[in-house]
Chain A
């Protein structure tokens, strides 16, 4: 059973077809990279998979479970987590609280109006462990607004991993990072165990190519090439897109 099967997905905004008959099959434990120039429809594809947009046609299945019509909040409960290209966190709250919100989302506790969140030791310990995983345990009590961009990226990843996803969608996890920060995030991603399947969008081929086993190249809403790293790099169509030959 594949971790993610996307078949014949179509999405148009008015007359603009941003996703054209996209089909993908990602196996469990696989690291898949999606690359393509700006406006190729990579983030739209993520929004369709995560359910934030509804596809016009086609279907999506997560570990054999059909979820084309499933609300996006339900998909989180089915084991799908994502990070965003533009950081969307809770700036007024501490790092610990940010991660706790992520954990809380998957428990029935989130509806409880009587208990005190600050006394939920179990949840706090889990959040601290998630922060430790991205080497941010020492900043747990700091408000997010007082952290650097690179640290926020890691909080994003900590929040996604805290949910124990089966499928993790990473939307440009390296965007805007310094060389050192990139190295940190790279290490972090390499350390994620294989029971998490990862699909990653990355603009920058250099950092991302090492990470992935298979690569899908998108262009104008279509997957035009798919294959191993060597196959993709050697493909004349990829050269044409990236180098304009």
Chain B
């Protein structure tokens, strides 16, 4: 009984926190001062979607990809090229998503021949190939000059060239991506995927098709990454090979790991951390890269599991330490099965 009760309380607390967060984010343009900060918030949300996509692989499939910037870039280039060719926004977005899924399928088919270090190296190589294509296939990509996107879309009459409007559009997409990720990981398929992360051999013996499960996970990861890529190209209205570089892949991987891989909120916290340090701290500190490095080191030392699970652990510990032992300690021990 008590367990059910605490679960219900927990669920209610989560719902309240979620509504609060949604309220804060929805009202953001009113309480932050200026376009600069609204744009930073949009960037955080875009990278959060990107990190959510990578987290499907890193956190839930146990497959570390170092080529995800390539997939993001693929979506961004596909959209930009379609727009430059004169297609409308809806066609360009659909084309970009289809191209990303197709590209991810090829990526996955090649990379899933291995796991562990092998998988990392193959994804790294594939990401570099895409970077090389963006850089050298000048007739298609304009090489180093990149491609400009003339205008943002205006769905249902909302002109997204306004930073606030773009922020809201990004927020909606982000909320959908987060909801999709949440449904995915709590689904039977999500459980299958986590099983293949923990005990692939056992999962195979139980009757699961480990390879195909991982392949579908790659596609889902690619889909979220593609969505982030489309947001990215509309936000910047520009895409160049720089976006596909290995450092970008490493950056998003750091977001996932520093925030807490295998958790829903971790990648979002990681994205916020990196974007904020990159954009805000860099205004005051010339060596902001060093600051980011120091923060990562601190996270690894004090919260090796990542910011979100680490904070939860510290908060629990603090609550326990604060609460008088007669009320908290023993009864809690007795309740825990």
Seen from chain A, the residues whose Cβ lies within 8 Å of a Cβ on chain B are: 50, 52, 72-74, 76-77, 82, 84, 88-92, 97, 100-102, 104-106, 109-118, 120, 139, 141-142, 159, 163
**A84: contacting residue among B198, B202, B209, B216, CB under 8 A:** B202
Residues of A with C-beta under 8 A to B210: 73
Q: Is the CB of B220 within 8 A of A113?
A: yes
Option from B186, B208, B209, B220 in Cβ contact (under 8 Å) with A118: B186
User: Is A104 a contact partner of B205 (Cβ separation < 8 A)?
Assistant: no
Whole-angstrom CA separation of A116 from B188 in the bound complex: 7
Closest residue to A94 on the B side, CB-wise? B337
Q: Are A104 and B192 interface neighbours, CB within 8 A?
A: yes
How many Å from the CB of A115 to the closest CB on chain B?
A: 6
Chain B interface, number of residues (Cβ within 8 angstroms): 26
Q: How far is the CB of B197 from chain A (nearest CB, A)?
A: 10
Contacts of A101 in B (CB 8 A): 191-192, 195, 203, 206
The interface residues of chain B, by DSSP majority, are classed as helix
Contact of B188 among A52, A77, A115 (CB under 8 A): A115
Docked complex Cα distance between A84 and B205 (Å): 10
The chain A residue with its CB closest to the CB of B209 is A73
8 example contacts (A-B, Cβ-Cβ < 8 A) are as follows A73-B209, A74-B207, A101-B191, A104-B188, A110-B189, A113-B188, A117-B190, A142-B337
A80 CB to closest chain B CB (Å) equals 9
Among A50, A90, A139, A141, the most chain B Cβ lie within 10 Å of the Cβ of A90
Q: Which residues of A contact B201 (CB under 8 A)?
A: 52, 88
Distance, CA A159 to CA B207, complexed state (A): 12
Tell me whether B279 is interfacial, beta carbon within 8 Å: no
Given A88-B202, A100-B191, A139-B337, A117 and B209 touching (CB < 8 A)?
A: no
Docked pose: A225 CA to B244 CA in angstroms: 65
Contact with A along B170-190 (1 / 0, CB 8 A): 000000000000011011111
Contact B205 A73 (CB under 8 A): yes
Contact residue among B3, B191, B220 (Cβ-Cβ distance under 8 Å from A141): B3
Residues of B within 8 A of A114 (CB): 183, 187
**Residue pair A106, B186 in contact (C-beta under 8 Å):** no
Whole-angstrom CA separation of A109 from B187 in the bound complex:
9
Residues from chain A with Cβ under 8 Å of B202 in the complex: 84, 88-90
Shortest CB distance A15–B (Å) = 26
Given A90-B198, A92-B198, also A117-B186 (CB < 8 A): yes
Chain B residues within 8 Å of A52, by CB:
201, 204-205
- Closest chain A residue, CB of each to CB of B207: A76
Which residues of chain A come closer than 8 Å to B195, judged between CB atoms?
90, 101
Give the Cβ gap from A11 to chain B, nearest Cβ, in Å. 18
Q: How far is the CA of A102 from the CA of B202 in the complex (A)?
A: 10
CB neighbours of A92 from chain B (8 A): 198
Contacts of A109 in B (CB 8 A): 188
The residues of A that contact B199 with a CB separation of less than 8 Å are: 88-90
Question: Are the C-beta atoms of B189 and A111 separated by less than 8 Å?
Answer: yes
Produce 1/0 per residue, B208-238, CB < 8 A to A: 1110000010001000000000000000000
- Give chain A residues whose Cβ lies under 8 Å from the Cβ of B209: 73
By beta carbon, the residue of chain B nearest A113 is: B189
Docked complex Cα distance between A16 and B60 (Å): 39
Closest chain A residue to B210, Cβ basis: A73
A82 touches B205 (CB 8 A): yes
Closest to A118 in B: B186
Which chain B residue shows the least CB distance to A119?
B186
Distance between Cα atoms of A97 and B203 in the complex (Å): 13
Q: How far is the CB of B181 from chain A (nearest CB, A)?
A: 11
Residue of B nearest to A104 (CB): B188
Closest to A109 in B: B188
A84 to B209, CA, bound (A): 19
Which residues of A have CB within 8 Å of B207? 73-74, 76-77, 105-106, 163
Q: Looking across the interface, which residue of chain B has its beta carbon closest to that of A138?
A: B337
Cβ-defined partner of B186 (8 Å) among A72, A77, A116? A116
The residue on A at minimum CB distance from B217 is A113
Q: Is the CB of B337 within 8 A of A113?
A: no
CB distance from B10 to the nearest CB of A (A): 13
Nearest Cβ on chain A to B44's Cβ, whole angstroms: 27
Supposing A90-B195, A117-B191, A141-B3 touch, asked if A102 and B186 sit within 8 A by C-beta, the answer is no
